[in-house]
Chains A and B, each alone.
Chain A
Amino acid sequence: QVLLQESGPGLVKPSETLSLTCTVSGGSISNYYWSWIRQPAGKGLEWIGRIYTSGSTYYNPSLKSRVTMSVDTSKNRFSLKLDSVTAADTAVYYCARGGAALDYWGQGTLVTVSS
């Protein structure tokens, strides 16, 4: 059973950088796409971007100027950085396996942007 676990600060100050890591267990991270999705409270899902284990990245144009994703195959994990955050970036952030349909998800982590 593949398990994903998000980790990172739950509180980020405005204008700073949000940093999250997703650790994959129960399977290899190699040869898959891995994605980040977010969900503001009470709202729908937004795809942030995806990364292949080769390092190729594909970002949502609405966030592209602020997003960086990376992958560390030696540690079976991948990461998200979102720069210059505002209150609008407050959401539950999910990591998931897949570049299209997403078959395994982390439990999600709430990130609040507030001073």
Chain B
Amino acid sequence: EIVMTQSPATLSVSPGERATLSCRASQGLGSNLAWYQQKPGQAPRLLIYGASTRATGIPARFSGSGSGTEFTLTISSLQSEDFAVYYCQQYNNWPPWTFGQGTKVDIK
């Protein structure tokens, strides 16, 4: 099973600032990685798939990069609605698809 490790666990950022979240895989994934945003009491929402392709309706301030074992989600200018938990998820090696433990982005 591929282990996904996200860092940091918590990221404190001021509105308008840039946030950079990291995700590392225990084995190479190519570009088979997705990012999700989850707010309290809500289901996750797909942000990025294929490591760098924004899902439908996702603002351009969200961008994904990386391949292999190292991936990054960047939020260029944090808006109030972006404070949430972010998960990466690999879909290169089944079984099973696996998620990182999450990075919480909170208000500084």
Contact = CB atoms under 8 A, between A and B. Distances in A.
A61 B97 CA distance: 11
B20 interface: no
Size class of A's contact patch?
20 to 34
Interface of A: 44-47, 49, 58-62, 94, 96, 99-103, 105-108
Interface of A is mostly: loop
B45 interface: yes
Nearest to A49: B96
A61 B95 contact: yes
B71 interface: no
Interface of B: 1, 32, 34, 36, 42-46, 49-50, 55-56, 87, 89, 91, 94-102
Contact of A101 (B46, B94, B98): B46
B43 A44 contact: no
A59 B100 CA distance: 19
A106 B102 contact: no
Given A47-B97, A94-B44, 18 more contacts: A44-B100, A45-B99, A46-B99, A47-B96, A47-B99, A60-B95, A61-B95, A94-B43, A101-B34, A101-B46, A101-B50, A101-B55, A103-B46, A103-B49, A105-B43, A105-B45, A107-B42, A108-B43
Contacts of A61: 1, 95-96
Given A44-B101, A47-B99, A101 B45 contact: no
B46 A102 contact: yes
B94 A106 contact: no
A107 B38 CA distance: 11
